[in-house]
Structure 1
Amino acid sequence: MVRKTNPRREGDTPGEPPNRNRRTVLQTVGTGFVAATTLPSAKADVSTMDTNAESNSWRPEYHFAPSTGWMNDPNGLIYHDGVYHLFYQAGERRRRWDHATSSDLVTWTERGTKIPDTDSIQAFSGGAVVDSRNTAGFGTDALVALYTGHHDDGTEDQRLAYSTDGGETLRKYENNPVIESDTGEFRDPNPFWYEPDESWRLVVSRVEATDDRPAGIEIYRSPNLLDWTYESTYVDEAGAGWECPSLFERPVEGADETKWVLPVSPIEHRSVEYHIGHFDGTAFVGEEVHSADHGYDFYATQQWGNEPADRDLLLTWMNNWEYAMEGPDPGWRGAMTVPRTLSLEADDNGLAVIQRPAAELACARREPVAELHSEPITPGRDPLDGTELAGRTLEIETTITPQSASTVGLAVRTGPEQESVISYDPTDGTLRFDRSNAGEFFGSNDEDRTVTSVDLPATDALDLRVLIDRCSVEIFAANGRRTMTNLVYPDRESTGVSLFAEDGVARLEELVAYTLSAG
């Protein structure tokens, strides 16, 4: 199997492997069990909430973040009747499923807790489907969610909840669990419909091996979402601790074939990998592994099910378990990336994974704040001087030809003593992101948390699309062939943007920038 584009974090050093059960760092223990519960929906439009100034300094404008409290993995991503449903892990000490919805992937409304924890069982991550054929017997088009029941003794089994009112309420299945277990480290079930034999499949993580099962991604089969039969395991031979799997088929542009994509999140690397290969309904065979993102803050990717536009739409938690519980806490913690599409393309180097922001993001654009063409960049000349390009919520698209410069790039969220720097070295094709002066938290921590880099495909020009949103910088380079996602915590006043070239002359071929607003 071929492994491609591994992320490089400058200053990385080997160390002790992380706690495999990374979601129970601050777990508390209780007793008792409630078999079926529904809670009323508390609704809040996140894009228009009147929160205090401290909270607003870093609260995203066009990324989803909860109005209050903790959030990590996206769960149960499903589209149904014109609505995108986002369930997610909430509760810093005891996990549950909270819920938000959107019609445009930019403006989100919180809907409250839908799968609560109990005194002895937390609701860990999972996926959801629309049961359009009523195979489970809950009703045509019922929303059916599979999730992990994490018991306070560490045991993890797989459970089901369903909704017959479009996600307004979810009821726990009375005969849970649907996949029994007497061990831990077994989580994140994600079901999908397998059209060739018109039945269901499910991928679930066996994070650590047991006496009778290897570590890896287990595949199950079911006619009805209730009765599951084990089929096979895609083995985690390196022992990286995979979790949060999805599995979907995608055509390869430029070739007469399809491939299956299996995203996993290795705990050891705190990242996401796309394993690409073949699936015959029983077993997945991997052929290539691609790093999904080369920043620090990208984990637990999940695909949106039932998506109407025949595209693979993904969402990811924008944080890192290494420091997620240490970061600033202005009353809310956790944000998602922008939804992004994934496509596969055959090129001269084999198979390319292309990721781009969902097209709906363009609806958040306001009038361009800067538009430049064919301008020189030198150590003493920045074409952005004199423009009005500044802000905390921006989209910047640019192409730069390095010419004789040794390094070219873009600095964002700049202030008197702060900046986040995107730089490109044309001699070795390395793109870097440096947040060591990005304000609170990262600037005072270890070097291995501040600088990350990736090699770009051979090119004569640097092509960038950069999304800036108060506490984050997302970079899409080489027309989506490389991405980098990172949190930043600059001061509110750090809003500047600048271009630079070192040791020579570069040429700004074009740049267009927009302010983005979800309102």
Structure 2
Amino acid sequence: MTQKLPLNPNQWRPEYHFSPSEGWLNDPNGLVYCDGVYHMFYQAGEHRRRWDHATSEDLLSWSEQGTKIQDTQSVQSFSGGAVVDRGDTADFGENTLVFTYTGHHDDGTEDQRLAYSTDIGDTVRTYNANPIIESATGDFRDPNAFWYEPDASWRMVVSRVEGTRDRPAGIEVYSSDNLRDWAYESTYRDTDGEEWECPSLFELPVERTAESRWVMIVSSIENCSVEYHIGHFNGTEFVAEDVILADYGYDFYAAQNWENPPRHGELVVSWMNNWAYADNGPNPGWRGVMTIPRTIALHNVNGDVKVHQYPAAEVARMRKNVITDLSQETVVPDENPLEQVDIGNRTLDIVATVDPRNADTVEFRVCEGRTQASSIVYDTVNEELHFDRTNAGAFFDNDAYGTTSMPLKLREDGTVKLRILIDRCSVELFANDGRRTMTNLVYPDRESTGVSFSSEGGAAEVERLMVYGLETS
């Protein structure tokens, strides 16, 4: 990897993804919606973690609200979640925002703590009887509470990354009537020995059926990736029936869902980075970006329940102009139907439906300049989608993190459908109506704004290709 800093520190600052005005950002924390406002707390402080706060009414334009849970001389404030205590079960007042988080002590031990806000996040107080779950060991973190309607009480999931003499590694489930006193219920164990953190647990309907499933989100430390575990929860134990990789890119980690979402489906956001290189990436005075919030839904696919993921609906509202609109266009090798199109935008929403026909590969090149491009290739022979950022600009070159792939079968009509979201430092792919996703950082030069399309080994047909310029209001 190589690093080339821009002359302008905002060259790569995203237009519609959240990034801090200055300093460090990693895990999203305390995601909660209340009174028309999305709240996003997050891990700030490169060397000592604390909770900073941002708010938005549309998930795209964010206002920073400052630090809300400080670190102290001996305890850092690690990740956790948030709920709206509508019924005042914790005795802090109706509709109080209650936060659960990990206290990371300088000796390495980690315990679980509580904080709350009675003014919708303007001020946050730490609970004076912390910790709410004591611990004499480390690697025990990321508490995330939720309301369990069947018995009208609270549940919380916490990651025990490494097992102890008394408890196995896995995701622990706790119960409580008041958010302050918690009882251990069970551990959802990983039989393959993976180390997990950043858990969430929620129920979703299976679209167009009378069924539902519970979804547990975990982040795999070893692979720096996110998994959706699909299964059943009875209030005490979670049992999985399938595990799905959430994203096939390198930069989707520590995902968390919004508590109390205002609409059908769950909204999820993640840190767009990777611990393999996060500490070494370009540092123009701010470091860290969140992914676009995405809606996740469950679908019955040939008898199996699968996750589909879509960009939040608000993204489409940013479409300010149609840069190009192609339909029913045959493309032969060495031909680029976008050659005469002046893209000129660094923020794009590309929606394409392509029939590969007899082509071996079809390729989109985005963030393209004279010598740069991010390459998106569909391989019809192996039914795979490849992403290559080895020539995408600063930092990433031909190393282990330069290319990635994901399995992707053609749709029933023989086409592949892609939605490609481009911001100044990222490319996010949603393939075949959200069946697969891929998220990657890129650091192109400012003038690398081109988009091209080509086929190899035969002709392909562009059934529809729309390129929209995006702009936040």
Q: Map 1:122-271 onto structure 2 (within 5 A).
A: 122-271=76-225
Q: Which residue of 2 aligns with 1:71?
A: 25
Partners of 1:236 and 1:207 in 2: CA distance: 10
Partners of 1:232 and 1:457 in 2: CA distance: 38
Instruction: State the percentage of identical aligned residues.
Output: 61
Q: Does 1:402 align with 2:373?
A: no
Q: How many residues align?
A: 466
Q: Does 1:327 align with 2:281?
A: yes
User: TM-score, length-normalised on structure 1?
Assistant: 0.89
Q: Which residue of 1 aligns with 2:423?
A: 469
Partners of 1:357 and 1:53 in 2: CA distance: 32
Partners of 2:434 and 2:409 in 1: CA distance: 11
Q: Which residue of 2 aligns with 1:86?
A: 40
Q: Which residue of 2 aligns with 1:428?
A: 382
Amino acid at match of 1:236: D
Describe the superposition over 1:69-106 as per-residue Cα deviations: whole angstroms up to 9, x where unpaired.
Answer: 00000000000010000000000000000000000111
Equivalent in 330, 336, 341 of residue 382 of structure 1: 336
Which consecutive aligned stretches of 4+ in structure 1 deviate over 6 angstroms post-superposition? none
Contact 1:371–1:511 at 8 Å: present in 2 too?
yes
Partners of 2:312 and 2:238 in 1: CA distance: 28
Contact 1:411–1:497 at 8 Å: present in 2 too?
yes
Partners of 2:23 and 2:260 in 1: CA distance: 29
Amino acid at match of 1:497: V
Describe the superposition over 1:180-206 as per-residue Cα deviations: whole angstroms up to 9, x where unpaired.
Answer: 000000000000000000000000000
Partners of 1:518 and 1:92 in 2: CA distance: 29
Q: Which residue of 2 aligns with 1:36?
A: none
Q: Which residue of 2 aligns with 1:293?
A: 247
Equivalent in 259, 262, 276 of residue 230 of structure 2: 276
Partners of 2:374 and 2:264 in 1: CA distance: 36
Contact 2:327–2:465 at 8 Å: present in 1 too?
yes
Q: Does 1:514 align with 2:468?
A: yes
Amino acid at match of 1:455: P
SS of structure 1 residue aligned to 2:433? helix
Partners of 1:366 and 1:217 in 2: CA distance: 44
Amino acid at match of 1:277: G
SS of structure 2 residue aligned to 1:58? coil
Contact 2:360–2:455 at 8 Å: present in 1 too?
yes
Q: Which residue of 1 aligns with 2:3?
A: none
Partners of 1:129 and 1:180 in 2: CA distance: 21
Contact 1:370–1:388 at 8 Å: present in 2 too?
no
Describe the superposition over 1:248-307 as per-residue Cα deviations: whole angstroms up to 9, x where unpaired.
Answer: 000111332110000000101110000010000000001100000000000001010011
Equivalent in 287, 293, 306 of residue 352 of structure 1: 306
Equivalent in 424, 429, 451 of residue 403 of structure 2: 451
Contact 2:410–2:416 at 8 Å: present in 1 too?
no
Partners of 2:409 and 2:44 in 1: CA distance: 39
User: TM-score, length-normalised on structure 2?
Assistant: 0.97
Partners of 2:303 and 2:146 in 1: CA distance: 31
Partners of 2:460 and 2:269 in 1: CA distance: 35
Describe the superposition over 1:409-450 as per-residue Cα deviations: whole angstroms up to 9, x where unpaired.
Answer: 20001111110000001112100000010111102x52x201
Deviation at 1:316, TM superposition (A): 0.5
Partners of 2:155 and 2:230 in 1: CA distance: 18
Describe the superposition over 1:194-225 as per-residue Cα deviations: whole angstroms up to 9, x where unpaired.
Answer: 00000000000000000000000000000000
Q: Which residue of 2 aligns with 1:25?
A: none
Q: Does 1:503 align with 2:457?
A: yes
Contact 2:321–2:470 at 8 Å: present in 1 too?
no
Partners of 2:305 and 2:369 in 1: CA distance: 41
Partners of 1:424 and 1:329 in 2: CA distance: 33
Partners of 1:123 and 1:131 in 2: CA distance: 21
Structure 1: stretches of 5+ with no match in the other structure: 1-51
Deviation at 1:484, TM superposition (A): 0.2
Pair 390,461 (structure 1): closer, same or farther in 2 beyond 3 Å: farther
Describe the superposition over 1:328-374 as per-residue Cα deviations: whole angstroms up to 9, x where unpaired.
Answer: 00000000000000000002262221000010112211111111111
